[in-house]
Structure 1
């Protein structure tokens, strides 16, 4: 990919991600409206990182662009050390998104699982190509919403669910799961409309 095409790709991915995160309640004002030339300058100076805050739930998300080289586990551990320990920018309840140039392989997915299981740090690694369109606006993707803790409790009581294994699951690595930041154990409410304009709801629990 030429540098010009790469800048266009970064610009588009950034705008789409900001729109999705804004829909999730994160304040995006400081990062909206940047031109391609401004993004080019930020890319050159390695200033593409974003830090957003959702004041309603007091949650932050940090977005890191890592496009120059193939990302390796040591790179991810270094980022975690900086963001969660040395600089203490993020807490364990916050989200960390890394945008890379390739599709994450099995090694990276296993690493994400391991870090979440052992350190309770939630990392999402996304191929930049998947952010060239907004998956929420695709005609074949129904509306997904993460249930709150109280809604989850009500849902389980309503359907008499005592074992999460009785709930159909969705992987945390599904494209819609990645952009909406659902964590293992949380539940999606999914609205699907039929040809008769009847909307039905169904539920999926996020798995590792």
Structure 2
């Protein structure tokens, strides 16, 4: 297999994981977009596709004004100029969330730039290698459900708890990153149990 074929195969898998991830976050993603075959992918984007051809945006199922962009960067190492270009595009389209799929880590200045604009523009960064396989489909990863604010309130009242008394999950945890969890959210974790059938726990995002 040539290096070009390798790159196409990798981008096919990365794009599919990104689509699955957005659907699991509640964005409008059609099944055919996730189930696209590699040959359909190649036919749509061409054999000599550029990473930038794969850029797309999606809207939330319950709020079409809440959009997110997925950017695939061409640069081996993304510098601050690229971050500015992306932010300008988001600003012009009133989109305030984005996922940046990069080949290598951002430069230090680019990382600083992402932090500086984080109060208005929320930009998540994933390296290619993190999206080649969907972590959620791993046999050892239990089902996760992100609670709404109302569901969180009911849970805490039901057990007379403060949120900080719940077990914790780090915001940097791979599964927390997959779901785009924010500080203060609560996630319900459902594990299969031979004795109880289902074993439910909750985690507070810190």
Q: Cα 1:144–1:107, aligned 2, differ >3 Å: closer, same or farther?
A: farther
Are residues 14 and 206 of structure 1, via their aligned partners in 2, closer, same or farther at CA, if it must alter by over 3 Å?
same
Q: CA–CA distance in 2 between the matches of 1:189 and 1:111?
A: 33
- Residue 158 (structure 1) aligns with: 158
Q: Which runs of 5+ in 1 are unaligned?
A: none
Q: Structure 2 unaligned runs (5+)?
A: none
1:7 equivalent in structure 2? 8
Give, in angstroms, the shift of residue 45 of structure 1.
7.7
Contact 2:80/2:107 (CA < 8 Å) preserved in 1? no
Partner of 2:27: 26
Q: Structure 2: how far apart are the matches of 1:146 and 1:36? A: 34
CA, structure 1 residues 140+13, in 2 after alignment: closer, same or farther (shift >3 Å)?
Answer: same
Q: Distance in 2 between matches of 1:190 and 1:25?
A: 17
Matched, 1:36 2:42: yes
Structure 1 distance, partners of 2:170, 2:83, is 21
Corresponding residue of 2:102: 100
Structure 2 residue corresponding to 1:88, chosen from 93, 101, 113:
93
Q: Say whether residues 1:202 and 2:204 are aligned partners.
A: no
1:12 CA displacement:
1.1
* Contact 1:54 1:60 (8 Å CA) reproduced: yes
Q: 1:109 to 1:45 in 2, by over 3 A?
A: closer
TM-score (norm 1): 0.79
- 8 Å Cα contact 2:83-2:110 kept in structure 1: no
Report the CA distance between 1:66 and its aligned residue: 1.3
Aligned length: 199
User: Matched residues in 2 for 1:51 and 1:37: separation?
Assistant: 21
User: What secondary structure, in the 3-state scheme, does the structure 2 residue paired with 1:160 have?
Assistant: coil
Match of 1:48 in 2: 54
Compared CA separation, residues 41 and 172, structure 1 to 2 (3 A): farther
SS in 1 for 2:98: strand
CA-atom RMSD in angstroms:
2.9
SS of the counterpart of 2:49? Answer: helix
For residues 69-88 of structure 1, the aligned pairs below 5 Å read 69-83=76-90, 85=91, 87-88=92-93
In structure 2, what is the Cα distance between the partners aligned to 1:63 and 1:161? 37
CA drift of 1:175 comes to: 1.9
Change (3 A) 1:112 1:141: farther
Match of 1:176 in 2: 175
Q: Secondary structure at the match of 2:101?
A: strand
1:27 to partner: Cα distance: 2.2
SS at match of 1:43: coil
